[in-house]
Amino acid sequence: MTSIGDTLSKPSYFENTFFDSFAPADTVFGKSLFADHSDMFFEALASGDSTERYQALRSLDQFEFKDKDADDLMELLDDFEFDADEFQYRLSLIKSLGTLKNDDIIDFLDEYFNRATDTLQVQLAVLSTLSELKSKESCAKFLELLDRDTPLASDYSDIRKIFLSFEDSLETAANLFPELLDYLQYPEYKYSVTRLAAKILEKGVPGKDILNGHKKIIIREARNDLKRRLSSEKKDTNGGSDYSNNTNYNQVFLKKEHNRYLQLNFAIMLMQWSDEPAVEKYLEKLLKSSNNEMRILTIYLYLKNDIDFDQDVINEIAERRQDRRLLYVYLNQADKTDLMDDEYKSRQAFAEAQIYPVAYNEEKDSLVYLEEKLIAVKGHKGWLRFYKRYRKNDETTDNYLVCTGLFPEEKDSVSVNNILTYRSISLDKEEKDLDEEIEKMLKRIRIYKRQRAFIKKSSGYYN
């Protein structure tokens, strides 16, 4: 029994009295909600009744199979005839095996993969399930199936999904290397393979050289992809299109942000050969990229690996408001915030960066500082800075009350955590009482992201 309430007000006298005095009867009608319902699920599918079949399949997203169900589940996948509109349920049932323990699952998936050579989504579901099993044996089978019939897709995100579970278990994922590096030749696999390798290298897996014997291919692929990126940046500057949307490069490649991180994944992989001329040149080109996020992350790699570089680039980037905070985040991780000039580490400089995260127009935008207020938000205490923000238009000037924080309680210090920026509705042309507006804003912020009641309705009977 539940009731819907509000976290800002206490339960009423009636609610308290009702729930305190309510007592359920001892008699249970029907099957307990907490009993195992898997027999009902399989019986419904075998019944031949279309309504029961529909209800059973619809309940899959909320159904949790147990290890004892593995044999029945494999038999169902072998024998059950799915209708055309039930294809997604078939995929869900395959993936359900990834959470179960049964010695026959890996062999079953091997055979199922072979029978699905003309069905990409089934092959991908089998590979995803093997990744969920998280064992040396499942990793070996994953590589075997990938080599036997490499799935290729028109959308790289389809391939991306089969690697996601490995990112939660990097020690297990290390068993895929170095063999997985052979798939750098496929554009659909390049981002996922380099991301996984970079994560493993960042964490460190003792006794495992995941790049063994692949230096040449890694350097070549990194260099070639960087050439494409730099070429696309030049086209963008000249009004051209980015190569991630250019089918002359390939039909399936990455979104812009993944193109950027692909280069950084390669950079992490190349760090163990940082004294080689080809790698030095690669890193220097990253540092000269027109994308400041890429430059910031490259600076972090330089600092983390204690590699010399022209540090003037740090304050060149810090001068841009929209890049200032991200730069500070990574300098802080490398314990090198002293490399940023003090003028870019002030609360005023950080406030500008947080209020204008995308763009700032010197001719049209301006900020006027009002005051600071100490506040607690979701268990974090700090200072909010209040400003009037002006934006000049053709004939008028819009003005807003804005605040940003949370800045630490220690005077004049800044933080990379608990960032909050809040903009009020536009202030009227006739001056409003700013103190009153600030109090209204503080009230909104104090309830920022408070939990509310949420009830999810079941779509089936087999919960």
- The whole-angstrom separation of Cα 16 and Cα 10 is 10
Residue 6 pLDDT = 67
Residue 425 pLDDT = 63
Contact between residue 290 and residue 298 where contact means Cβ atoms under 8 Å apart: no
Residue 296 pLDDT = 94
Contact between residue 403 and residue 383 where contact means Cβ atoms under 8 Å apart: no
Residue 412 pLDDT = 78
- CATH 1.25.10.10 range(s) for the chain read 38-344
Please tell me what DSSP assigns to residue 131. Answer: H
Residue 300 pLDDT = 94
Pairing mode of beta strands 380-392, 420-426: unpaired
User: Residues with Cβ < 8 Å from 118, sequence gap 6 or more?
Assistant: none
Residue 362 pLDDT = 75
Of the chain, the end-to-end C-alpha distance in Å amounts to 16
User: Which tokens go with 159?
Assistant: 């391939």
Residue 136 pLDDT = 94
Q: Mean pLDDT in each 10-residue stretch from start to end of the chain (463 residues)?
A: 69 82 67 66 86 88 89 93 90 94 96 87 96 95 96 86 93 95 94 95 85 94 87 55 36 49 92 92 90 91 92 93 89 94 91 78 84 84 88 80 87 76 66 81 74 38 31
Residue 34 pLDDT = 53
Predicted TM-score (pTM) of the model is: 0.75
Residue 68 pLDDT = 94
> Would you give the distance in Å from CA 209 to the centre of its chain?
27
Distances (CA, A) of 97 to 68, 120, 147: 11, 18, 22
Residue 165 pLDDT = 94
Q: Which fold has domain 38-344?
A: Leucine-rich Repeat Variant (1.25.10)
